[in-house]
Amino acid sequence: MKISANWLRDYVDHGLSIEELSDRLTMAGLEVEDVEQIGPRLDGIIVGEVLEVNPHPNADRLTLCSVNVGDGEPLSIVCGASNVAAGQKVPVATIGTILHLPSRTDDDALERIEIKKSKIRGEVSHGMICAENELGLSEDHTGIMVLDEGAIAGTSLEDYVSDKNVPLADTVIDIAITPNRPDAISHIGVARDVAAITGKELKSPSISISLDCKESTADFSVQIDAPAGCPTYAAILVKGVEIKESPVWMQQRLSAIGLRPRNNVVDITNYVMYEVGQPLHAFDFELLAGAKIIVRETSTETKFTTLDDVERELPIGTLMIADRDRDVAIAGVMGGQNSEVTADTKNVLIESAYFNPAQIRRTAKALQLQTEASYRFERGIDPTAQLRAAARAAELMAKFAGGEIDGCVNANPAPYEPRFATLRPERVSHVLGLVVPEDRIQSLLTSIGFNISSENGALKCEIPSFRPDVEREIDMIEEVARLVGYDAIPEPSRSAIPNHPVSISPQRQLREQVSNLLSSLGFKEVVTNSMLSREVAESFCDPILPGARFGGEVVDTLNPVSREMATLRPSVLPGVIRVAAHNLNRGRLSLKYFEFGNSQMRVHTEHSILENYTERECLLILSSGQHDLPGWDTSARVEDIFDLKGIAEVVLDSVHLPDVRFVPIYEASKVSTHHIDIYSGHERLGVLGQLTDSVTSAFDLRGDIFFLEVDWSSISEFSAPFLKKHYDAFSRHPVVDRDIAVTVSRSEAVGPMVKSIRDAGGELLVNVSVFDLYAGDQIDASLKSVAFAMTFAADRTLRDEEVDEEVTQIISSLEKNHGAKLRQ
Amino acid sequence: MTEVFDSLRKEIEAESLDSADAVDSFRIRYLSKKQGKITDLMKGIKDVSPGERGTYGQGVNELKTLANAKIKDAKTKLGSSASDQRDIDLSLPGRAPKMGSLHPITQTRHLINRVFESYGFTVEEGPEIEDDWHNFSALNFPADHPARDMQDTFFIEPTDLEHGGIMLRTHTSPVQIRTMKDGEPPFRIIAPGRVYRNESISYKSYCLFHQVEGLFVDEGVTMADLKQILHAFAQTIFGDDVQMRFRPSFFPFTEPSAEVDIWWNDESLPGGGRWLEILGCGMVHPNVLEAVDIDSEKYTGYAFGMGIDRIAMLRYGIDDIRILFENDERFLDQFA
């Protein structure tokens, strides 16, 4: 909301500088976002008469002008404009004048320049002939400004323009109006707050015409068929207007706040809206069939052409203004082309109504048409101000359009009932932590329009009709707080905190722990967009991935920013793949990333917080490229799936996830060539895989890309019981290490062999690892050799015989279950 | 006996080992198995009376240690000056493991969490997909009210359905509602998480960002307490001498509401700096407490909310929010 400082002074003589005013408004809840100086900057500018124009000896585009500035010798001035000519009267800035010229680098900024005697290409210049934009008179910078012939050389330009329609020097204050302050969307509304915070008087414009109106006049009538949508409709007929320009001062004010002046009638309706906050509409009365206004709702889908020449489709239930035969305006939003004021209009009907805020908001939303009127109606205007505003406009029309006020109707089927709320003075300090004396509370609230009486130790407050946001005690406490100023609220030197334990959820504890672990292991955490194109989202609806393992559909947004960000991610994988591609294509050789993020699917599961939606936090790890770069004594090695499998083992081990199983699946899925399902007990919690070539190439990647994605919500839930650490006494007796190597068929999987060793090894076997895998010349081509290192221990010194016995059992288990033969 | 040891010690100490040859002959003279003087002493232990053998052995060992240390010192000195004898090049680079990193948003979230946890707040989290009641209605956003325009919403199901619409949460305030609905006061929580706004993407806005909201509901909580905790917070994040101001604002779920600015020094600006908004806050609106069946007469509370991304950008001097989501390693590596 733009406020003209000149205009504001009509209603409150605040005596503040613009800086003080801006600061006080901001600190009282009307945040000043911008302050702009507008209008001409004519200090020191005088009228000059161009006597001679000669070519500049050293520059084709410059001229040497001799300019008479009244007294003394004519000045020699270098000029660069092509329109300069002898005999012209022009504005001249003489030496010592300060100009504020539009900046060449920033359209909105001005640069302060002092005119000095200077040499321009070798010729001395004693001033500057100005263009309109250099004086703030217009945006025009096509050439120097040429004045009327009657202008007198040596007189001030300020005098010259005093009777011209030029903008007035003004300051425009741009205020960010919060939705709870519809009362402040006008100059009087802002002036009311200024008066309250400065203790000065608010001066409202007086209205001299009689406000005694009836339901109808001899000339016209108003019929309200939709009283819920329109409880009040005031209309005044002004006859015999002459459509012309509005007075200069009014045009200046409207221009200052960014409105283009149109004609006197339209300007007056705008002027009154920005003055008091009541939107008005002016109909050409002759175009209203039957001299009748009907307020009603549409009952069918209707087409209507608004005065911006756009045909609009109106939904059923739109509140409309109609005459006897047809719709003439969309109530509270925009008038119709069929009844607008034109140059030929003679009689004007001024509409000043109160429309239901929610209904206007729905219409404006449905039509995607927010106007200055709908903006105010949907926030809630003063429901008692209609007649006064109409009368104010009528009076201005009578004065500036030569019209005669002919008749007045005030249809008010649902009169405004005053609203009251009770404020307990002690509650103010209870909420604010600041004691405000009762009389201070009273005077502050009175200053912004409350009527207050004491009742049983509390304050009974009549809420001003222009404050629809105020409903209950807390609303008035807020008013007191902002008028006292938040600065007045002290910071206590200590404050109590409740006696209750602070807890940390396993999900967050483990996330932070694993984030630190992964970053220590060389992985970089990334944060990616969770909105994808629908195609990408669907292509990652692969049931091997934890987010999509419950089935269901991807979750679309109804109003996406773009096609590329229309659907929520079913998996964190695609976002991280993009990061890998981004960095690979910028020369990174080793790609190791992780992200914790939510996956979203439209499916109802036991995990659903919101019915029909399942949202799981997932941990995604991606690795690809160089595992080791070549060093001075190490060689390069490319990342393979066992690197990431090892990471998976470490991560899951670090969170003490119970009963972890890795189940290899050799078939390809949508995104993975083969994969390993990760289980805890019987619950499948995630997957380790390798991207298929088609995914890899679709994302402009190359090489083998490995990924791990697990359901972090489930993992932390499963791990939670095992997070408490405790000490177990450990054996201090020596351990016994034994190695064995066996040959098995090449197709025999090693994982189950390890399990067989564990099962057969009994309690004494505490560890088993695979330390060699060989296939080649040394053994039969159908075989491979696998070597295991085993550690045995007990809470006593082990005898060789008992270990031998375990090893024998292990070997026989490997023979029986895997066809293994011990290598001697 | 001690005289023998003493004189030998002096002799050893007086030896000058200034070359590899000198070191070698020194070693032979004192320590060689056949003719070394210390070795000889060692052999002589059998002639010592059993009662004195302990002291004698100790004396020999001390001499042996002294001789060995002298050899080691001399070798070190000789090694560093004689490059041709070096068998290790310590100037070679180490085999450094690759460093990973935490994203600046995470680091900032951890920092904010830590500040408030130290003041007794518990971290709570909630879903990103929400219904109208949790995201708007319970937070005192009336239907068809312009306050809803303050947060451009991504809808998943339209608002004309019975549940009033399903949407991506526009703030983490629904976590407050869920927490209060499920428990009994007092509540002292913060809710960090991802939120969504349907805004066009530019250097200063993205379709999603991260927020931390705080809530304290108990008997006797005042706006003065709110000013205190946020001042303490701002001091931790922006320094002890941070200058801040609370100015009135509007949020449907708090009343009175405030926006908090900090003074940001910037010599290039006319006033030497400017006020920068860092968070919004206020006293929990009684309508919100009542929506979750809390006695708004007995209990009062405060709430606050801030953008993690924005705080991160201020802390690290990042001027384009999009770079946070691009994850270029040249960016990420700066936060390792």
Q: Is residue B99 part of a domain?
A: no
What is the CATH number for B111? 3.30.930.10
Q: Are residues B62 and B136 in the same domain?
A: no
Q: By residue range, what is the domain housing residue B174?
A: 104-335
Kindly identify which residue of chain B lies nearest to residue A180, measuring between CA atoms: B250
pLDDT of B7 strictly over 90 = no
Q: Which of B33, B57, B86 is the last residue of a domain?
A: B86
Q: Look at residue B263 and tell me if it is in a domain.
A: yes
Task: Say yes or no to pLDDT of B336 above 60.
Answer: yes
Q: Which of A446-460, B34-48, B80-94, B180-194 has the lowest mean pLDDT?
A: B80-94
Chain B hits for A491, CB-CB cut-off 8 Å, are 224, 227-228, 231
Residue B68 domain-assigned (yes or no):
yes
- Rounded-to-integer distance, Cα A666 and Cα A675, Å: 7
ipTM score here?
A: 0.86
Beta-carbon separation of A525 and B117 below 8 A: no
Instruction: Give domain status of residue B301, yes or no.
Output: yes
Query: Do B185 and B49 share a structural domain?
Result: no
User: Residue B1's pLDDT is what?
Assistant: 66
Q: Are residues B76 and B111 in the same domain?
A: no
Is residue B85 very low, low, confident or very high in pLDDT (cuts 50, 70, 90)?
low
Render pLDDT for A617-676 as a digit per residue (tens, 0 to 9). 999 999 999 998 888 888 889 999 999 999 999 999 999 999 999 999 999 999 999 999
CA angle, A73 then A79 then A80, to 5°? 175
Whole-number Å distance between alpha carbons of A346 and A344: 6
Please check the confidence at residue B22 and state whether its pLDDT lies above 90.
no
- Residue B91 placed within a domain: no
Contacts of B235 in chain A (CB under 8 A): none
Contact A598 B218 (CB under 8 A): no
Indicate whether B145 and B28 sit together in one domain. no
Q: Do A27 and B143 touch (CB under 8 A)?
A: no
Whether B194 and chain A come into contact, CB under 8 Å, resolves to yes
What is the tens place of the pLDDT at every residue in A757-813? 999 998 999 999 999 999 998 899 999 999 999 999 999 999 999 999 999 999 999
Percent of chain B with pLDDT over 90: 60
**B contacts of A528 (beta carbons < 8 Å):** 325, 327
DSSP H/E element including A708 = strand A705-711
Residue B246 domain-assigned?
A: yes
pLDDT digits (tens, 9 = 90+) for B306-335: 999 999 999 999 999 999 999 999 999 999
Q: Which residue in chain A is spatially nearest to B208 when comparing CA positions?
A: A529
What is this structure's pTM? Answer: 0.84
Same domain, B77 and B109: no
Query: Are B194 and B314 part of one and the same domain?
Result: yes
Amino acid sitting at position A40: P
List the beta bridge partners of residue A131: A144
Task: Look up residue A420 and give its two tokens.
Answer: 């009251």
Q: Which residues of chain A have pLDDT under 70?
A: 105-109, 165, 211
Q: What is the distance in angstroms between the Cα of A714 and the nearest Cα belonging to chain B?
A: 15
- Indicate whether B97 belongs to any domain: no
- Report the pLDDT value the prediction gives residue A109, as an integer from 0 to 100: 66
B89 and chain A in contact, CB less than 8 A: no
Using the Cβ of A475 and the Cβ atoms of chain B, whether some distance falls under 8 Å is answered with yes
Please, what is the Cα angle at B141 between B138 and B143, to 5 degrees? 105
Q: Are B51 and B116 part of one and the same domain?
A: no
Question: CA-CA distances (angstroms) from residue B16 to A470, A569, B26, B70, B74?
Answer: 98, 77, 9, 10, 9
Angle, vertex CA A784, rays to CA A779 and CA A790, nearest 5: 115
Q: Is B257 on the interface with A (CB under 8 A)?
A: yes
**Total tally of structural domains belonging to chain B:** 2
Task: Say which residue, B267 or B102, is predicted with more confidence.
Answer: B102
Surface of B (303-322) touching A: CB under 8 A = none
Q: Specify whether B63 is located in the same domain as B114.
A: no
| A316 touches B: beta carbon within 8 Å | no
Rg (CA), chain A: 41
Q: Do A486 and B92 touch (CB under 8 A)?
A: no
Q: Check whether residue B79 and residue B112 sit in a common domain.
A: no
Are B157 and B289 found together in one domain? Answer: yes
- Given a cut of 70, whether residue B83 has pLDDT beyond it is no
Q: Indicate whether B92 belongs to any domain.
A: no
- Classified as helix, coil or strand, A245 is coil
Do the chains contact at A500 and B188, CB–CB below 8 Å?
Answer: yes
> Which residues from chain A sit within 8 angstroms of residue B133, using beta carbons?
none
Strands A531-532 and A451-455: unpaired
What is the token pair recorded at A758? Answer: 């564990």
Rounded to whole angstroms, how far apart are CA atoms B263 and A810?
Answer: 73
B95 vs A634: CB contact, 8 Å cut-off? yes
**What span, in angstroms and rounded, lies between the C-alpha atoms of A483 and A28?**
6
Q: Check pLDDT > 70 for residue B80.
A: no
CB-count exposure of residue A102 (10 Å: 0-12, 13-18, 19+): middle
Distance of residue B59 Cα from the nearest chain A Cα, in angstroms: 37
Same domain, residue pair B12 and B150: no
Question: CB B256 to CB A609 under 8 A?
Answer: no
The reply to whether B149 and B57 lie within a common domain is no
Return d(Cα B165, Cα B152) in angstroms, integer: 14
Pick from A592, A601, A581: nearest CA to A620? A592
B156, B197, B299: best to mutate for the A interface, most A CBs within 10 A: B156
